[in-house]
Amino acid sequence: MLFSRYGTFTGGIDLPDEKDRTLSLPIRRAPALSRLRVPLAPCGGTPARPVISPGTRVSAGERIAAAEDASAVDVFAPLAGRVVGLTTAAVAGRYGPAVSAAIELADLAEPELLRPAEETYEWRRADEDSLRARVGEGHLTTYRRGVEPMSSLLARARRKACRTLIANVMEGEPFLTADHRLLVEHGEEVVRGLAILARAMGARRVLLVADRRRTESYRHTVGPARMYGISQVALTHKYPTGADVMLVKVLLRREVPPGGSVLDVGAVCVSAADCFALYRWVACGLRPGWRVVTVSGERADDPGNFCLPFGVTCTDLVPSAEPPVIHGGPMTGLKCSADLVTGPATRGILAVEAAPAPVPGPCIRCAWCRDHCPTRLNVSAMNDAFELSDFREAARLGAMACIECGVCSFICPARLPLTQRMKQLKRAIGTGLASPADRERGKGGAA
Amino acid sequence: MSESAAAPLREPPPATRRYPAFEAPFVRAPERVRTVFLVTTLAASAPLGAGVVFFGWRALVVATICVVSCTVLERFYYRLTRTPALLGRTHAYLTGILLALTLPAFVPWYVAVVASVFAIVIGKAIFGGVGHFLWQPALVGRLAVAVMFPAALNSGAWPLLAQSRIVVGDVQRAAMVEDYSGWRGRPAPEGADAFRVTPPGQMLEKLTRPASWTARGPACSGLMLARQDTPRAGPAALRAPAPDRLPPINDLLYGARPGGLGETCAIAILVAGLYLVYRNYVKWQLPVAFLAAAWGVAATAPVLLQGPSNTVDTVWFPLVAEGLDVGFTYVNYQILSGGVVLAATFFATEMTSRPVTTGGQVIFGLGCGAGAMLLQLYTGVPIPAYMAVLAMNTLTPVIDAAWRPRVFGRRRFAFLWRLVGR
């Protein structure tokens, strides 16, 4: 068997797949671009300080801004071009588009296609500390929602003594195929990146988790994975198996405490894009500054998997599609604002068939939200708590355990925006609208 | 617009304005509340069809009166009060058709209208409409007419069309028959379309309950034979020869018995219920728990028989008391003779008035089933199964508050840890 198999969790749904449009299309170079607005704060927080003056020409991979503190990263020019000046752009943050300073580049060079690069660094012989230092020098970020510097993720993982590293290539959401294509075309590099990360982290157990239906496409990763001691796991496509918390539950049989992260149970989850960017920097010395993005949806003129530099205006990629254009997956993504640009967390740009904004009706207590909730929350009771602004009750019912997967909103026959309400409840509880005791109770074990 | 960052906690009232923020998830499942109610209405028309077969066109008239008056009343109430949750009409159809299923086909039009008024106004509208009521609205209407028109509804003998007059016959043209012992092949009485026979539930009452409980007369009336005198009393009556014999149980299975126009045909109800389970509108645990509890209570709860010299004999475990064959038929007879099957499939499973969690639904179903059978065995209420469902509906908030499955990531057996103070 190519991939070993595991169990599952309660709840979850079968989503329509919708990946056929781009599943077999190879990664293409970006369309011709006239300008980029490279965000200076891809991780949120303080933006990096620009180190070039307007009008200068920069080459690809040249440093254009330097980080002020450890929670930010240096920014590099994704493409060669001329610096126009300082502007603003929005990047996808944890709670929605966040506006940050950006450097505008124009007169851009032709974007290049991804090519296998030569290894210039002997990472196989390097020890843990020098690998970690190398990762820190690369100013890499993670490539998932809630972007953070890779080095700070590593530091947190070490502080919590995490010993399990999981590369999550499930891509459970409809339409998205970016990680799939990356693994198909650059599987070996991804696996090497994972091995580097495992070494830097000091992981004892390394897992590469993929969708059971697609394992045939990843045959060529088997050999390298075996070489680096990475076990490959195939899981069902039931949504949200790809959510980190659920993955850890299935693979390690550990439940993340409400409001916590997978680090709390000793696991680190990364994506294929993380591993690939890490490999490109650590082994080949190539600066990060782009990622593979799926452009798809019923109304996208030219669907495909593109290798896009950071700073492309999202709505430009689907020029003829009317709003809303979606940034990320259709279950957890954001609606693109006009100034949203691609960043590390941009897995996809989707122009899906725009359903009219649903009119919510009264909850009929059908209990489908509860039955399908992967964290077994009584979402309809939580909805009552929301309508009464009763945050104590919501905390008592365990609102902090919500993983914001979007299943409850998807399934709700009354079209209630349940996921959105859950997010607001969680933020209200987290920011102290509920009393500290409730917060503790909501997070903690007993309640 | 950064909608999630700046979204206010309070949203505009739903039905009056389009929801402004279009947020993830951007794909939605096709099922809507409308579909749920329409499909349930469709499923409920299967027992209604069976009712039309056994009670003729008058069943259709009663159903039409109920549906029309429910819909009109709901529109009217909405015009008056603008209760937003009364906007859709599909739940009014559903309430009307469910109400019709519980009513016998021979009721005068005003009974159906009064039942609709109580169902819509008292059962649903004053609670705030769809999704807000506490009791199943159709059952509220049925209970109201059972109390208000006892003469019309709780009378001894109800009509049932003869086999040669099904569908087209008039159920009002009924004649009393003396030695009714089965429906199949029995010709229609002279000049009539229907037999007027005692509903099997009432027959069972006479057989299994001391006469002093039912008739207010001398304790030992002629209806009830002392157990010592004849072995035919109680469950054993099912084995007795005609004319003391009850109609065969197959009649109850396919619906040839007097009763509410939708509650008689168990087969049609079960088919509709299976469809609802297939559509995920009903979790199978609830009706199964309901029927299992009813079956269990009927199999174990004592039958009270008239002993010698006015004593009451208590026979426990009627399932085995007279032999398994008779006991099995007796228990199934108890289940099929009232509204238990219909209540388990359509009324206990009403989404708004049942608990949300699966475990809660099992508790709810067990309570309903046990209550229905206890009411049927030991009290004279005309609609035991529906009363039990209404009673358990009252307890739904309590069950929901009490039965809470462990949330993901919380400690197992948290309540035990709390007891020891950790």
d(CA B207, CA B193): 29
**What is the percent of chain B where pLDDT is above 90?**
49
Min CA distance, B40 vs chain A (Å)?
13
Contact A406 B24 (CB under 8 A): yes
Tokens at residue A374, please? 């992967």
Could you give the count of Cα atoms lying within 13 Å of B154 in the half-sphere of its Cβ?
A: 15
CA-nearest residue of chain B to A360?
A: B14
Number of A/B CB contacts below 8 angstroms equals: 189
Per-state percent for chain A, helix, strand, coil, to nearest 5: 30, 20, 45
pLDDT in tens, A11-27: 999 998 889 999 999 99
d(CA A134, CA A193): 13
d(CA A309, CA B280): 46
Contact B24 A334 (CB under 8 A): yes
What pLDDT is stored for residue A195 in this prediction?
95
pLDDT in tens, B49-66: 999 999 999 999 999 999
CB neighbourhood size of B287 (10 A): 27
Tokens at residue B255, please? 């619906």
CA-wise closest residue to A275 among A200, A218, A332: A200
From edge to edge, which strands make up the β-sheet containing A267-271?
A4-5, A230-235, A205-211, A164-169, A267-271
Question: How much is the average pLDDT of A148-172?
Answer: 93
pLDDT above 90 (res B22) = no
Contact B9 A258 (CB under 8 A): no
Contact A258 B3 (CB under 8 A): no
Tell me, what's the ipTM?
A: 0.87
Which residues does chain B have within 8 Å of residue A357's beta carbon, measured at their own beta carbons? 18-20, 22
Contact A357 B18 (CB under 8 A): yes
State the DSSP H helix or E strand holding residue A105, giving kind and residue range, or none if neither. Answer: strand A96-106
**Residue A89 three-state SS:** strand
CA-nearest residue of chain A to B401?
A: A381
State the DSSP H helix or E strand holding residue A66, giving kind and residue range, or none if neither. Answer: strand A63-66
Nearest to A409 among B2, B18, B25 (CB): B25
Min CA distance, A287 vs chain B (Å)?
31
What pLDDT is stored for residue A299 in this prediction?
86
d(CA B383, CA B147): 10
CA-nearest residue of chain A to B361?
A: A367
What pLDDT is stored for residue B196 in this prediction?
87
Nearest to B409 among A337, A401, A410 (CB): A401
Which residues does chain A have within 8 Å of residue B351's beta carbon, measured at their own beta carbons? 364-367
Question: How much is the average pLDDT of A17-44?
Answer: 90
pLDDT in tens, A285-318: 999 888 999 999 888 888 999 999 999 999 888 8
Contact B25 A368 (CB under 8 A): no
The pLDDT confidence band at residue B143, using thresholds 50, 70 and 90, is: very high
pLDDT above 80 (res A281) = yes
**Which of A335-339, B95-99, B234-238, B310-314 has the highest mean predicted lDDT (pLDDT)?**
B95-99
The pLDDT confidence band at residue B319, using thresholds 50, 70 and 90, is: confident
Distance of CA A396 to the CA centre of its chain: 30
Contact A401 B31 (CB under 8 A): no
Which residues does chain B have within 8 Å of residue A257's beta carbon, measured at their own beta carbons? 409-410
Min CA distance, B292 vs chain A (Å)?
23
Which residues does chain B have within 8 Å of residue A331's beta carbon, measured at their own beta carbons? 24-27
Nearest to B26 among A326, A376, A428 (CB): A326
**Which of B123-137, B169-183, B360-374 has the highest mean predicted lDDT (pLDDT)?**
B360-374
d(CA A260, CA A152): 17
**Cα angle vertex A401, ends A397, A404, to 5°?**
115
Min CA distance, A133 vs chain B (Å)?
35
What pLDDT is stored for residue B210 in this prediction?
60
Question: How much is the average pLDDT of A168-192?
Answer: 93
pLDDT above 50 (res A46) = yes
What pLDDT is stored for residue B232 in this prediction?
38
Min CA distance, A344 vs chain B (Å)?
19
CA-nearest residue of chain B to A388?
A: B10
User: Where does A228-356 have alpha helices with state H?
Assistant: 244-252, 272-282
Contact A359 B14 (CB under 8 A): yes
- Report the mean per-residue pLDDT for chain B: 83
pLDDT in tens, A344-392: 999 999 988 766 667 788 999 999 999 999 999 999 999 999 999 889 8
CA-nearest residue of chain A to B422?
A: A446
Question: How much is the average pLDDT of B139-157?
Answer: 88
The pLDDT confidence band at residue B235, using thresholds 50, 70 and 90, is: low
Which residues does chain B have within 8 Å of residue A393's beta carbon, measured at their own beta carbons? none
Contact B25 A423 (CB under 8 A): no
d(CA B102, CA B136): 13
pLDDT in tens, B357-399: 999 999 999 999 999 999 988 887 889 999 999 999 999 999 9
d(CA B168, CA B183): 17
d(CA A174, CA A16): 6
What pLDDT is stored for residue A207 in this prediction?
94
Out of A268-277, B310-319, B393-402, which region has the weakest mean confidence (pLDDT)?
B310-319
Mutation for A interface: B285, B410, B417, most A CBs within 10 A: B410
Which residues does chain A have within 8 Å of residue B32's beta carbon, measured at their own beta carbons? 413-415
Out of A333-342, A427-436, B134-143, B235-244, which region has the weakest mean confidence (pLDDT)?
B235-244
